[in-house]
Structure 1
Amino acid sequence: MSRLNRFPRVRLFDAPTPIQQLTRIEAALALEGARLFVKRDDLMGLGGGGNKLRKLEFLLGEALAQGCDTFITTGARQSNHARLSAAAAARMGLAAELMLTDTVPRDDPAYRDNGNQLLDGLFGATVHHLPRGADALAAARIRAEALRAEGRKPYMVGAGGSSPVGALGYVDCANEIRAQEAEMGLKFANVIVANGSHGTHAGLAAGMAAAGDDPRRVSSFTVLAALDEAERGTLALANETLALLGGGVLDAASIRIDASQRGAEYGIPTEAMLAAVRLMARQEGLLIDPVYSGKAFAGVLAGLAGGRFTGDVLFVMTGGTPGLYAYQPAFAT
């Protein structure tokens, strides 16, 4: 914590987020030798909630410390990070500009206009829509230069807020989990997350390592990149984050990622995801998003059924609930 306190930060949610046991799902699965818990990172009130607020606390902290007046970021059309960037920027009095790419091959009204898209506008963000395959970071850099030419001072970060500064939010989360374990008198054999832009897994692994804990307790299910790319990107970001904290290097064996739940491509529903979202809703009354947590939780369920995950298992629910409304056609079938 003392190392984290060196970095500028704004407060965007109440911490710690709670850890809850999913006893009804345990009973429905007739689990033996395992208990299932969730860390409720969906329970963050700002902007509809979600884990990207952890990253934005440090990103906006740095932006404000630099005297910036505009926050620019990138993502897919239904990006949770973009939606929360718009909300957090509004809270802190900054303009927000979102470079959103049509990453998912859909153009139906639910996906095009509902969910996060609706909220981006409500929060007052300026949204730039880019075609599939466009270089969003390049577009963001061009926009930043145009703003500087107007006398503005923009701050720019890429998809998911997954820079080393952004990943500090999940270093902090690792500290939170360790403190909650001590309070609860248990230790999670597996801490499981979704892996998109790598920042959640990388931050947690770096946080565990910085605390002298085992980063291999953390594992993820990639929902965006192919396995080798996800492994390289997560390891690199974890080590960049550790360097920011002042030292330590992880090796490739420290990063455990599973690609079994990715499906055809990013944002395309799978039967396992649909079943996992419905199980969580119908047994526990909890909502998980279809792009990230839905696919990762499907992996948790498969791992529990196959005996891969045993002992006390923690799934980090990362929010993104507004995205469910953009996937109405998938759940209607």
Structure 2
Amino acid sequence: MARKDNLDRFPRAQLMSGPTPLERLDRLSAELGIDLWLKRDDLTGLGFGGNKTRQLEFYLGDALKQGADTILITGAVQSNFVRSAAAAAAKLGMQSVLQLEERVPDMGEAYYSSGNVLLAKILGAEHMSYPEGEDETGADAALHARAEELKTQGRTPYVIHLGLNHPPLGALGYVVAGQELCLQMPDFDAVIVPSGSGATHGGLLTGVALAESDSSVFGVCVRRDRDKQRARMTTVLQKLAELLGIDAEPLLNRINVLDEALPPGYGKLSEMTRAALEKMARTEGIFLDPVYSAKTFAGLLHLVNTGEIQPGQKVVMLHTGGLPALFGYQNELASDLP
């Protein structure tokens, strides 16, 4: 694959102050028999941090280029993306409209009022709701309908799309991150990331490939099963390769997804996820969120237990942040705690 020299032709809003730390987890390394590192994208800074800041640099760069004064975005009720978008909009002097989708059934009152929901309200975001959790086309269409209303009020809206029929601009943030990681650590054996929309997973895989690293990239399914996620990643990588003007085939050959940590589904805790969350906290003093990073660590533990990650290998886990969601899940998390 030809190496991509830069991403300068894509407009980019400056939301990050620099590379995020790469931290060795000494106690877990000793316990698991591997050389384990954490890429701390929970420390991106803006609005409680998290991986979405990298993606928003490219979405909001495009929005500013188009003269937008309002951004619209859709996500789950406890979405880290919509909270981060509201924070980025505030930083850039823009307004935000957040559409919250009903993706996780049977949740308590805290899920709808605490965590990311509370933070977005403090940030002054407008909220709207969408009743379906698995209708990306419909959710995007609802945003466009609201955008048309805003135009009649003299506003200039910009929609950050969820569906796959739009260029994955946000994935460019993780192309940058993949290259950043390879500069920080040129010789790792594998990196483990959550795989949901596919932007973080696809971007990181592409960045690692463009840095001419043959390290394995494992995507831990957080929303769909292995087969559905593989199909989604194929589309994401094809669209990303088209955006960058590179050959997609070498990227498609590196898709590796696992779904053992997915049950009982998106945004739902299992004993496997809860145990991973508690192990990271009680061994390294680092919190994970129940939707993405705890499932990512659970997937990593599965790879170690099955021998797919071998003793002594140097492994990086991407910490995607999302920590405000812990408070939205307080009832579920507290149920088995002393």
Whether contact under 8 Å (1:75, 1:158) holds in the other structure is no
- Of 319, 322, 327 in structure 2, the residue corresponding to residue 320 of structure 1 is 322
| Structure-1 residue corresponding to 2:212 | 212
Change (3 A) 1:36 1:10: same
Structure 1: how far apart are the matches of 2:29 and 2:210? 32
- Of 134, 139, 142 in structure 2, the residue corresponding to residue 136 of structure 1 is 139
Letter in 1 for 2:8: N
Offset at residue 149 of structure 1 (A) = 2.5
| Structure-2 residue corresponding to 1:240 | 239
| Structure-2 residue corresponding to 1:66 | 66
- Of 11, 27, 31 in structure 2, the residue corresponding to residue 28 of structure 1 is 31
3-state DSSP of counterpart to 2:47: helix
| Structure-2 residue corresponding to 1:170 | 174
Offset at residue 250 of structure 1 (A) = 2.6
Moved more, 66-75 or 102-111: 102-111
1:147-296 superposed matches below 5 A: 147-159=150-162, 163-182=167-186, 187-214=187-214, 217-250=216-249, 252-296=252-296
Identity %: 42
Letter in 2 for 1:170: Y
Listed one character per residue, the Cα deviations across residues 107-134 of structure 1 (whole Å, up to 9, x for unaligned) are 4111111110101101111010222346
Whether contact under 8 Å (1:195, 1:223) holds in the other structure is yes
Whether contact under 8 Å (2:75, 2:81) holds in the other structure is yes
| Structure-1 residue corresponding to 2:122 | 122
Offset at residue 235 of structure 1 (A) = 1.9
| Structure-2 residue corresponding to 1:145 | 148
Whether contact under 8 Å (1:3, 1:245) holds in the other structure is no
Change (3 A) 1:83 1:108: same
Structure 1: how far apart are the matches of 2:24 and 2:225? 31
Q: In the alignment, does 2:80 pair up with 1:77?
A: no
TM-score (norm: length of structure 2): 0.92
In structure 2, stretches of 5+ residues that fail to align are none
Structure 2: how far apart are the matches of 1:268 and 1:205? 26
3-state DSSP of counterpart to 1:144: helix
Listed one character per residue, the Cα deviations across residues 236-275 of structure 1 (whole Å, up to 9, x for unaligned) are 1122112211221136432110011111211110111111
Whether contact under 8 Å (1:227, 1:258) holds in the other structure is yes
Moved more, 230-239 or 96-105: 230-239
Whether contact under 8 Å (1:195, 1:221) holds in the other structure is yes
Whether contact under 8 Å (1:81, 1:159) holds in the other structure is no
Structure 2: how far apart are the matches of 1:107 and 1:20? 34
Offset at residue 2 of structure 1 (A) = 4.0
Structure 2: how far apart are the matches of 1:55 and 1:92? 15
Whether contact under 8 Å (1:238, 1:250) holds in the other structure is no
Whether contact under 8 Å (2:171, 2:200) holds in the other structure is yes
Letter in 1 for 2:41: D
Whether contact under 8 Å (1:12, 1:53) holds in the other structure is yes
Offset at residue 276 of structure 1 (A) = 0.7
Change (3 A) 1:160 1:318: farther
3-state DSSP of counterpart to 1:71: strand
Listed one character per residue, the Cα deviations across residues 76-97 of structure 1 (whole Å, up to 9, x for unaligned) are 0000000000000000011100
Moved more, 318-327 or 162-171: 162-171
Whether contact under 8 Å (2:274, 2:290) holds in the other structure is yes
Instruction: Give the root-mean-square deviation of aligned CA atoms.
Output: 1.8
Whether contact under 8 Å (1:81, 1:160) holds in the other structure is no
Structure 1: how far apart are the matches of 2:101 and 2:248? 34
Letter in 2 for 1:74: T
Whether contact under 8 Å (1:74, 1:140) holds in the other structure is yes
Structure 1: how far apart are the matches of 2:266 and 2:75? 12
3-state DSSP of counterpart to 2:14: coil
